[in-house]
Amino acid sequence: MLYPDYRQQRVAAPVFITGIPRSGTTYLHRLLAAGGTFTTVRTWEALLAPAICQRRLLRALARLDRRLGAPLHRALHAATARASGDFASVHAVGLQDAEEDYLCLLPAAGCFLLLMAFPFDRELEQLGNLGELPPRRRRALLAFYHRIIQRHCYSHPGQRFLSKNAAFASWPPYLAERYADASFLLCVRRPSTALASQLSALEPARRLFGTDPGGDHTTARFRRLFAAFLDELARFAAARPDCVKILEQGDLRAAPAEVSRAIAAWLAIPPPPLPPAETAGAHRYAAAAFGLQPDAVDEELGAPYAALLASEARLAVAA
C-alpha cells in the first residue's frame, strides 16, 4: 500500500540455489552472498520484516540501537541463540545470516517447514513437488513468491538477486519460465547420506511438535520426497543444461576454492572470498537410527543421482 511501485520492480538475472537437502546448499549460498555481488534475504528480513515498510522501520531502529551501544541487538542475538537450540549444530542461525526466503511464504501457507507441525496435510506435502499442486494454487504461490522477490529487490536496488531453498527442487521449471535469464545451481549428495542427515536435522522439530513420535512416518515421507526431488532435478538438468550447473557436495568439500572460481566464471562475477575452513561440527547421525539401509537407499534413488553426476551440466572443477 505504501510502496505500490515495487510491483514494477524488474528481477534481472536471478540465481537460484536448490538441490536435495543437506547437500551443501547453505555453504554455497553464504559463500556467494559474501562476495558483494548479490543481495539475498537475511534471517531478520524473512522473520521480522517481510514488508518494505517493516524493513525501513527496523533499519531506523537498528541505527538508533547502535548509537545506544546495541543493547537490542545483543538481546535479539541471545534470543536467537536460545530459540535455535540444538538446531544450531545442524544449520547456523543468526539474524544477519543469509537464509532461505521460503520462510517468507509462511503467510501463504507455502513454507515446507509447516509439514513438521501438520504431517498429514496433503497440500503441505505437495509443496515438495510443485507439479502436484492444483494449477490455481500453484500459480497463486508462484505469484506470491514473485512479489517477495520484487519487494526484496526494491529494498536493495542495483544488486542481483540470490536465492537458496533446498525445498525448491521441483520449482526450477516454473522459475525458469518466469525468469528467462535465471541461473540455477543444483547441489547433490549421495542419497543415503543426505537422507540420514536430513532426518537427523528434523529430529528437534519432530520432538517439538510431537506429531510423529516414532519417526516412521517422517522417514517414509522424506524417502519418497528425496526420490521425487532427484527425479525433478535430473529432468530439469537434462531439459535446460544451458542455465544449470550441478555441484556434488564432495567436490565442494574437496576443492572449495576451485568450485568458487568455476561458479564465478560461469556467472560472470568476481570470485567471492572463501570463508574460514570449517571445523568438524557437532552434528552426528547414523542411517541405522532411522531404519535406513544405505545400500538399499542408494539403489532405490541411484538412477537420477547417477544421471545428475553424468550430466553435461555438472560443474567442471579444475585444480
| Structural domain of 171 | 4-41+98-310
306 domain-assigned: yes
Per-residue confidence (pLDDT) for residue 77, from 0 to 100: 73
Q: Residue 270 falls within a domain, yes or no?
A: yes
193 assigned to some structural domain:
yes
Number of domains the chain contains: 1
Q: Give the H or E element holding residue 40.
A: strand 38-40
pLDDT of residue 87: 47
Q: Are 167 and 17 spatial neighbours (Cβ–Cβ below 8 Å)? A: no
pLDDT tens-digit series, residues 74-86: 887 777 667 655 5
CB < 8 Å & 24+ apart, contacts of 82-90 = 85/204, 86/204, 87/201, 87/204, 87/205, 89/281, 89/282, 89/283, 90/200, 90/201, 90/281, 90/283
CB atoms within 10 A of CB 270: 10
Which grid coordinates belong to 149? 522477490
Say if 70 falls within a structural domain: no
- 244-273 per-position pLDDT tens digit: 999 999 999 899 999 999 999 999 999 998
Q: Is the pLDDT reported for residue 4 higher than 50? A: yes
Question: Is the CB of residue 184 less than 8 Å from the CB of residue 176?
Answer: yes
Question: How many whole angstroms separate alpha carbon 78 and alpha carbon 70?
Answer: 13
Whole-number pLDDT of residue 36: 87
- The whole-angstrom separation of Cα 98 and Cα 164 is 9
DSSP for 46-94, written as a single string: HHH--SHHHHHHHHHHHHHHHHTTSHHHHHHHHHHHHHHGGGGGTS---
What's the pLDDT tens digit per position in 195-207?
999 999 898 888 8
Whether residue 78 is contained in a domain is answered as: no
**Residue 174 counted as domain residue:** yes
Residues in the chain: 319
Q: Which amino acid makes up residue 265?
A: A
Band (88; pLDDT cuts 50, 70, 90) = very low
Q: C-alpha distances in angstroms, 307 versus 80, 235, 236?
A: 40, 9, 11
**Domain-embedded: residue 76:** no
CATH of residue 178: 3.40.50.300
Question: Is 63 within a domain?
Answer: no
Confidence of residue 306 (pLDDT cuts 50, 70, 90): very high
